[in-house]
Every structure is written in structure tokens, then in C-alpha cells.
Chains A and B, each alone.
Chain A
Amino acid sequence: MPSQSIDLPQGTLDLLILRTLSLEPLHGWAVSERIQQISSDVLRVQQGSLYPALHRLERRGWIKARWGTSQNNRRAKFYEITKAGRRELEIEQHAWQKLTAAVSQILETA
């Protein structure tokens, strides 16, 4: 693991989870692995905060959970994005892009 990894800014974890799950249903461990992989090991998910976030999203109805079998034949809890979740993802993604664009514009010009 590279020592340069950074912790997630507040509030972005939900967005990343939704994005990750929009590709395929995954269990918790896989979600954290996937985020790490895709970000080329730059982003590190605090594993302790992953599960409360998953449960929160589930309660809001943006993802739903079902028990299935993992690759190594173990019982695991898989999370799957819902329609409401996809809508939320779009909104959040849009907001994020606007935010980052604005922030980088300031950083470049100011």
C-alpha cells in the first residue's frame, strides 16, 4: 500500500459507494477494495466508517441489501443500488463536478 494514500473528505464516501455499486452489486469488503483499486490506491476507505455509511444508505432507500454467496463460496451481504439511488447518484455527481470545477478554477486563477 502506498504511503501517499489520503483519507476521504467528509461526505464523499456516500458518493463513492453509490458510484461503485452502480456498476454491480458488491459486498462491503469488495466496495472498499474497489474504491482503493480504481483510485490507484490513492484513496483509502476507513473500514470502520464504511459499514455505518452502507447502513445509512440502505435506510435512505438508495441501496438495498440481500444475502448471497461470495466468490469463495461464503455467505455475504451484497448491496445493490436502487432507482432512487441512481437518481441520487446523478444529483450528487453533478454537484461534485460543479464543486471541483469551481475549486480548481479558483486554484488556477487566484
Chain B
Amino acid sequence: MLLHDLLFRLRTLMRHAATENELDDELRFHLERQTDKYVRSGMKEAEAVRRARLEFGGLDQVKDECREVRGVSFVETLVQDLHYTARTLLHSPAFTACAVLTLALGIGANTAIFSVVDQVLLNPLPYPNPQELLAARGNDSLPNLEDIQRQTNSFVSSGGINIEPMDFTGTGEPVRVHGAYVDAGLFATLGVQPMLGRWISADEDVKGGPRNVVLTYPFWRDFLGHDPSVLGKAIRLSDNSYTVIGVMPKDFTLPRELADVFVSLWVAYPDAAAERDVHFMHTYWRLKPGVPLAQAQAEIAQVDHRLAEAFPDSERERGTVLIPLHEWLVGDVRPALLILFGAVALVLLIACANFAMLLMARAVARQRELVIRASLGARNGRLIRQRLTESTLLALVGGAAGLMAAKAGTTLLLALKPAELRHLNAIPMDARVFMFVFAISLLTGLLFGLLPAWSASRGDIAEALRENARTTATGVSRRPLRSFLVTAELALALILLAGAGLLIKGFLRLRSVNPGFNPANVITMYLQLPGTRYPQIPMQTNFRRELLARINSFPGVEAAMITDLPLAGNYVGHRVVVDGQATRAVGTEPVVQTLSVMGDYYGIMQIPLRSGRDFSAMDRERQPRVAIVNEAFVRQLLPGQNPIGTRIDWTRSSEPHVWMTIIGVAGDVKHSGLNQPVDPAVYAPFSQNDEAWRKFMTLVIRSRVPVASLVEDVKKQVWSMDSQIPVSGIQSMDDLVAMSVAQERFNMLLLVSFAALAVALAGVGIYGMVAYRVNQRTHEIGVYMALGAQHRDVLRLAMKDGVKLGLLGIGLGLTGAIAITRVMVSVLFEVKPTDPAILIGVALLLAAVTMLACYIPARRALSIDPMTALRSE
């Protein structure tokens, strides 16, 4: 039975043309016999033909039913419909182009954002069993990490990493590279094997162990020219010779850090490795399979407790909070990405509404054709299917075009990406993105094709014919849908516009925050003195002093240096003690930023001194120690006191205090970000530095000459003093400020472009509706004018509906915006999501766009010639 059915279907499908002919022959034969019969019974030939036809019913309909019961009709009609659709679409290129372009914009924008969401939020981390990986919030020291690993059972392994600059020398110019100081457990934890050679083993990861290095692929490629026999060779890093034992695979990346080479912390920096109370390592953990996070967290809390008891001075306030690695990586960008994804979905809805209206307008234009086909026996279902074929075909073509638009869009996104997305080097169009485009196109085509098709098929033929007879009444049955679409479009556009407006306002607020310094015309460069050649502070101080003197001798150039620049993301924090204040419990003293400076730092950065004096050449070695604090320091630690003359020092466990005297108060500087509060800071002269590890410094140079030439001159001066010191991090202070708000700018630019797209689409939508109405009411307007209506009256008549719907949409949009913009709180800076000025502003803007979109087509009504309009009836 089943086999018979299948063979039957197959045969019919194979013999498609023959089957069709046979069906024709069979039915024709029937009609002829019936006609014969009537003729023989005495009927006239013509009457007999008519009678036979009438009795038989719709020939097309019967054929359709026959095809259907033969079971091949679906494929067959699809092919037929596609053929028919392609032909009709090619006949109306303007319509086709409009529809495809509209959808390409909507789908393209969605696809671009989806591919970022896909890559950032949905893609699994590039490590085996990534669901087992955890990260700790906050940093820790290697001894603590080792203790926890020893005393817990929940973890397969754990590892720590800290990135410090290293100097790679020996091939051309010295280069500053990112050195990853790690322990042996890190790679067992991440679970990635080197492509060549091996990882640092546990027995090598000890104080005095062999100086081995594992390279990343880019380092191996760029500096060692893909040398396949690199294993066992020696390279020079920060004045030490390291043996290459491994090269990581090409696609390997660390979870969050950027690194070029990996060395053992115990081998490369044993002092730091042994330091329990300096928490500078990112730590990663791999859970044993099946162990729940809560259990691991509970276990680790017990160890934390034991550590706090054993080392109350330093470990009392620390605690390990574990979070799934994926969460830790994308938690910050998720809200912004989801908001953008939501926004771009609204854009697609608007594009779809326009698409539906285009289809409706086209259906009306083709009404006569449809009526004729319906009266020839084509069933409603068949007509709907044909129109769905058309809308789906258009949507798929639109989707394909959208894919191309998305490709261009992602290139743009990559150029704009903020630091939080810095791992996003490429946005590949993977299978998921293709599925997304396909699904979204198909859905768009079916859903938004069905709307107008359904609304058009409801009316029976007689009604359609009647409507066709009097053009003034045409489309009455479709008005509610069209009005709904226009209203919805404007409401959605308003919501997007409100979101964009809020982000713009927040961004302008952020940019108008005074950073506390003047970034204009300041260029910065980072240097680090190699510890091997500059182990003692006096050598470091001499180098700094000499370099500054040389640069300051350039005409029109002023230079100074500081340990860490504002907005660059770093500072060294110390606990501080204020002389004369009640002694606080060890480990609870306030933490302040500590910054070392040399030269006229405040003058070059134009940071105002609020009171006291600046450092002078006299504040140098073997002189009384001095410090300048910021206003936040005074506010928080010396409220209501005159800070000048107050003595402070870092907390020291052993040595007696060597007090620094506060000689001045500098204006607050936004060190951690324009949207971050200012923390207390202490500036001290480099020349009185007593920490030999402060080997790094950033030059700040204000110049009246073009910066580009200056950079080379400064490099030459550095290398004339020491040819092995890399000069890196060359950027202007302006760029640094811009980079610090890159995430905010990224959000704002994207939402603004989506809003602009939405407004343009909505404008086109309402324009189309008004133009269509004017077209349909030519006769009515002609009569109106013939009766003596003024231009103003005609304009009002033509614009009335559009403006009314527009205002309704704007009103609904305002309500929607107030409800929806709440989700944006996390990405807004000092702006309430219901900021009235913004809401009113965007409503007015959209109202203006609406008026314009109504006015342009309405003006066409004025050119209607009453006589022509009346005659055309």
C-alpha cells in the first residue's frame, strides 16, 4: 500500500508534463461528451457548451484538486509559484528593490549584532569542558593559591597568572612584550596543550628552576619567523636568557589577559612568588566533574578562614569568590549587548511593517488580476500561497542582501569595539549566524506576508469587484491593518529614539566630566628599567633625571614622568597611616593610590595646586621626605584639618616610620575612569623613592611641535642612554581619555545608528501610506477642489490621517519608552531613564519627521487637476 503510494507519487512527479497533459485530455474529453449529449437532445451548440461548462464548475479548481489528491501538488505548485513570482517581481523592479532593501537593512543590522552576541555571549570558551572553569573575583598571591589548592578537594587544578612587561632584545630594536608570569597549574587548568614542545612542568616551577619559556603563536611567528626548530634555542627576555620549550597553538588565547611569552613566576621572579600578602595574580580553577560551584565555594571559604587566622596582618580581609569563567568574562558587556540586540530587533520590526505595507500596496495594485484569477476558479488558499511564496522569496533575497550588509557592519563594529571586547579580533559568520539569518528571513516572509495576504483574501470576490468599480472605496477593508502598522512603526521608532537620546545625553555628560587635567597636546610613553642593570634606586634616579634633562632641552618641549597615568587602568595601592591619628587595627588602614613623579608633572598636566607648594629640585635624596595629596585624600582622611605639614607613611610591619610631610594639595584627577569616583591619592618624588621595584615610568610630554617627529627624537635619546630599553605605550592623552569612554561611545553610536535607521524606515512607512491614500483618493480630492477647496484644505485632507496616526504612534511610543528604557539604567551615566527633556525632545523630533513625511506626498495632491481626476472615473 505504502509502496504503491510512493511509486504513484514518484511516477507522477517524474512524468510531470505528461500527467498534466493527460489531465487536460481527460477533462476535455468529459466536456466534449457532455456537450455532445446536450446537442443530441436538441440543444444549440453554443448553449450546450455553456451548459456543460456550468455543470462542471471551475476547471482550474478541479485540476487543482486532482493534482492535490495525486499528492505531488505541493512541490509542483511551489515550482510553479516560484516561477510565477520571479517573473512578476522582475516586472516590477522598483517594488522589488524597495522590499529587498528594507529587509536587507533590518536583517543586516540584526545579523551584525547577532554575530557579536553569538561570538561573545553564546560561543563556548575555547577550552575543553569550559563549564568546569571558574575564575576568582579579585586577585590573590601564589602562596595563598597553593595553600588553597592543597587544602581543597573540589578542584582538578588551579593556576595563577600575572602580566608584566618584559623586554625582548637580541633581534633589532628592543621590544616591550607582555610577559605572563604563571605557575605550572595554569595550563593544566585551561587544558590547552602546546602545539610544539611542552608546558612548564611542576618540578621546574620552583625557585631556582631552569629558565624556560613557552611562546605564543604570534610571538613565534613575528619575532622568530615560524622557526620550526625553535625548541631548545635561547632568547633574551629582560636581560636573562630563557630556553624555548614550547609554542602554543595558533588559536590559543588567555581568558582575559594578553600575553606573548610564558615564564614560571617562581623562576623569573622568586621574590614576588614568595610574597603572600601582595595579591597580584588572576587565578583560574577547574572543578572536578560533578562538583557543584556552591560546594567548592563553601570548601574554599573554610580555607580562607584558616588563612585569615594564620596571617591576620595581611590575609584577614581577603576572600575568594568564585564565578563561572564565562560569567566573569562577559558579565560586564552582557547588559549593553542585550540592549543593543533588543534595539536592533525593534529596527527589524519596523522594517517588517514597511515590508508588509509594501506588499499590501502591491496587492491592491494587482487586485484586478487577483479578482480575475479568483473568478476563474483559483481558490483562496492557492492565492494566499502564491503571495506567501512571493513574500518569502523577497525575504530570503533580502536576508541574503542583509548578510552582505552584516559583513560590512561587523567590520565597522570591530573598528569601534571597546576594550571590554578586545578579544574580539574577528567576527566570523559561523553556521549559527547563517541559521539565524535564514530563520529570521523565513519568519519575516511568512509572518509579514501572511498579514496582508490574509487581510486581502478575506473579502469575497463580489466585494472586491465592487470595490474595484469605485476607486474611492478601495482598500477600506485594509485600512485598519495599515493604520496599525504605521502607528506601531512610529511607536517603535520613538522608543529607539528615546534610548538613543538618553545614551547621547549620558555620553555628553561623561565627556563633559572634568578629568582634572588638560589632555590636549600631551603625548605619553612607557618605559621600564631592566632590573638586572638598574637594581638600585640611585641608578634608576640618575637615569630618569638625565633622560628628563635631555628631553626638556628640546625647543618647545616640556617633559615630566609619573608611575601610572590617569585613565590608563593602573596604580599601586598602599595602606597609609596618618601621624597623630588613632592607630587602626592592622589590615584595616585606608588604601590610597601611590604615584611617584619627577619634573613639572602638575604644570604639564595642568593639574591645579589647591594649597601648599609643588615639589622643587630641593626635594631630593637624603632630604626630608615630602608628599602631595589630592583633595579626596583631604576630604576622606583629614576632614576639617589643614593638611599642610601633616605627616603620613605607608604601613610598615617591621621598620620604624620614615614620615613624609604633606607640602601641597593637588586637584582631584579622575584616575580610574570619568564615571568613577576619585580615590585618595598620594604623590611622592621619584627621587625619594625607597621601593626598588618601582622601575617603571610614563613620560608625559607637552609640546608645541608636531608630536610624530618628537616620538622618534625621544626614542633616540632613550637608546643613546641605553639601547636595550623598549619604548612603548606611545599615545596621546586625548586618545587615552577617548579610550576610557570607548564602551560608552560604542553603545551610543550603535543605538544612535539604529534609531536613525528606525526613524528613516518609519518616515518612509508613513510617507508611503499618505502617498498611497492621495493616489487612491484622486477622484475625491478632484471633486473637493472642483467644489472650490483651498490649497490649505486639500493639504489638510491629505495629511490628516497620516498626522493623526503619527501622533498616536508617538504617544504610544512615549508610554512604551517610559516602560522600557528602565532596562538601560546600567548603561546610563547620570541620566534618568525617564529624563523628561530627552523624551519631549525625541517626541518633537519624530513629530517633525512625521509632518515632513506627510507633507511631501500631500503636496502632490495639490497638483491634481480636478477635470482630469473627474474624467478618469
The segment out of B24-32, B494-502, B704-712 that lies at the interface is B24-32
Distance in angstroms between the alpha carbons of A46 and B69 in the assembled complex? 17
Q: Which residues of B contact A58 (CB under 8 A)?
A: 8
Partner of B65, one of A29, A52, A77: A52
Interface residues of A in 1-55 (CB under 8 A from B): 27-29, 46-49, 51-52, 55
Q: Which residues of B contact A46 (CB under 8 A)?
A: 57
Partner of B30, one of A28, A56, A75: A28
A59 within 8 A of B: yes
Q: Which residues of A contact B27 (CB under 8 A)?
A: 51
Contact, CB under 8 Å: A56 / B34: no
B22 within 8 A of A: yes
Distance in angstroms between the alpha carbons of A40 and B613 in the assembled complex? 125
Within the complex, what minimum Cβ distance (angstroms) separates B381 from chain A? 15
Question: In the complex where A46-B57, A47-B57, A75-B25 touch, is A55 in contact with B30 (Cβ < 8 A)?
Answer: no
Contact, CB under 8 Å: B29 / A29: yes
Within the complex, what minimum Cβ distance (angstroms) separates B345 from chain A? 45
Q: Which residues of A contact B34 (CB under 8 A)?
A: 29, 47
Contact, CB under 8 Å: A77 / B70: no
Contact, CB under 8 Å: A48 / B71: no
Contact, CB under 8 Å: B1 / A52: no
Q: Which residues of A contact B4 (CB under 8 A)?
A: 61
* A58-86 to B contact mask, C-beta < 8 Å, 1/0: 11110000010010101111000000000
Q: Which residues of B contact A56 (CB under 8 A)?
A: 69
Of chain B, the residue at the smallest CB distance from A30 is B33
Q: How many A-B residue pairs have CB under 8 A?
A: 64
Partner of B69, one of A55, A70, A75: A55
Of chain B, the residue at the smallest CB distance from A53 is B69
Question: In the complex where A29-B33, A52-B65, A52-B66 touch, is A61 in contact with B25 (Cβ < 8 A)?
Answer: no
Question: In the complex where A59-B71, A76-B29, A77-B25 touch, is A48 in contact with B5 (Cβ < 8 A)?
Answer: no
Q: Which residues of A contact B65 (CB under 8 A)?
A: 48-49, 51-52
Contact, CB under 8 Å: A52 / B71: no
Q: Which residues of A contact B62 (CB under 8 A)?
A: 48, 51-52
B55 within 8 A of A: yes
Contact, CB under 8 Å: B70 / A55: yes
Contact, CB under 8 Å: A48 / B25: no
Q: Which residues of A contact B58 (CB under 8 A)?
A: 48
Partner of B26, one of A47, A48, A72, A77: A77
Contact, CB under 8 Å: B8 / A48: no
Q: Which residues of A contact B22 (CB under 8 A)?
A: 67, 77
Distance in angstroms between the alpha carbons of A59 and B66 in the assembled complex? 11
Of chain A, the residue at the smallest CB distance from B71 is A59
Kindly list the 3 A-B residue pairs having the minimum CB-CB distance in the complex, ordered from nearest: A48-B57, A52-B65, A56-B69
Q: Which residues of A contact B5 (CB under 8 A)?
A: 59-61
Of chain A, the residue at the smallest CB distance from B55 is A47
Q: Which residues of B contact A59 (CB under 8 A)?
A: 5, 8-9, 69-71
* A side interface size, CB within 8 A: 22
Contact, CB under 8 Å: A51 / B8: no
B: residues with CB less than 8 A from A are 1, 4-5, 8-9, 22, 25-27, 29-30, 32-34, 36, 55-58, 61-62, 65-66, 68-71
Q: A52-B68, A59-B71 are in contact. List 7 more A-B contacts (CB 8 A).
A: A28-B30, A47-B56, A48-B56, A52-B66, A61-B5, A72-B36, A77-B22
Distance in angstroms between the alpha carbons of A27 and B71 in the assembled complex? 22
Residue in B5, B57, B69, B70 whose Cβ sees the most chain A Cβ within 10 Å: B69
Contact, CB under 8 Å: A52 / B69: yes
Q: Which residues of A contact B61 (CB under 8 A)?
A: 48
Q: Which residues of A contact B69 (CB under 8 A)?
A: 52, 55-56, 59
Question: In the complex where A56-B69, A59-B69 touch, is A74 in contact with B30 (Cβ < 8 A)?
Answer: no
Within the complex, what minimum Cβ distance (angstroms) separates A27 from chain B? 7
Q: Which residues of B contact A27 (CB under 8 A)?
A: 26, 29-30
Q: Which residues of B contact A75 (CB under 8 A)?
A: 25, 29
Of chain B, the residue at the smallest CB distance from A50 is B30
Distance in angstroms between the alpha carbons of A58 and B71 in the assembled complex? 12
Contact, CB under 8 Å: B30 / A47: yes
Contact, CB under 8 Å: A28 / B26: yes
Question: In the complex where A52-B69, A55-B66 touch, is A74 in contact with B8 (Cβ < 8 A)?
Answer: no
Distance in angstroms between the alpha carbons of A74 and B32 in the assembled complex? 11
Distance in angstroms between the alpha carbons of A28 and B23 in the assembled complex? 12
Distance in angstroms between the alpha carbons of A74 and B33 in the assembled complex? 10
Distance in angstroms between the alpha carbons of A46 and B65 in the assembled complex? 14
Distance in angstroms between the alpha carbons of A58 and B30 in the assembled complex? 18
Within the complex, what minimum Cβ distance (angstroms) separates B36 from chain A? 8
List 16 A–B pairs whose Cβ atoms lie within 8 Å, in order of A's numbering: A47-B30, A47-B55, A47-B57, A48-B65, A49-B65, A51-B27, A51-B30, A51-B62, A52-B66, A52-B68, A59-B9, A61-B1, A61-B8, A72-B36, A77-B25, A77-B26
Distance in angstroms between the alpha carbons of A67 and B331 in the assembled complex? 74
Distance in angstroms between the alpha carbons of A48 and B66 in the assembled complex? 10
Q: Which residues of A contact B70 (CB under 8 A)?
A: 55, 59
Q: Which residues of A contact B29 (CB under 8 A)?
A: 27-29, 70, 74-77
Distance in angstroms between the alpha carbons of A76 and B27 in the assembled complex? 10
Of chain B, the residue at the smallest CB distance from A31 is B30
Of chain A, the residue at the smallest CB distance from B37 is A33
Contact, CB under 8 Å: B66 / A51: yes
Q: Which residues of B contact A55 (CB under 8 A)?
A: 66, 69-70
Of chain A, the residue at the smallest CB distance from B32 is A74
Of chain B, the residue at the smallest CB distance from A48 is B57
Distance in angstroms between the alpha carbons of A60 and B66 in the assembled complex? 13
Of chain A, the residue at the smallest CB distance from B56 is A47
Distance in angstroms between the alpha carbons of A39 and B411 in the assembled complex? 78
Q: Which residues of B contact A48 (CB under 8 A)?
A: 56-58, 61-62, 65
Distance in angstroms between the alpha carbons of A48 and B34 in the assembled complex? 13
Contact, CB under 8 Å: A51 / B26: yes
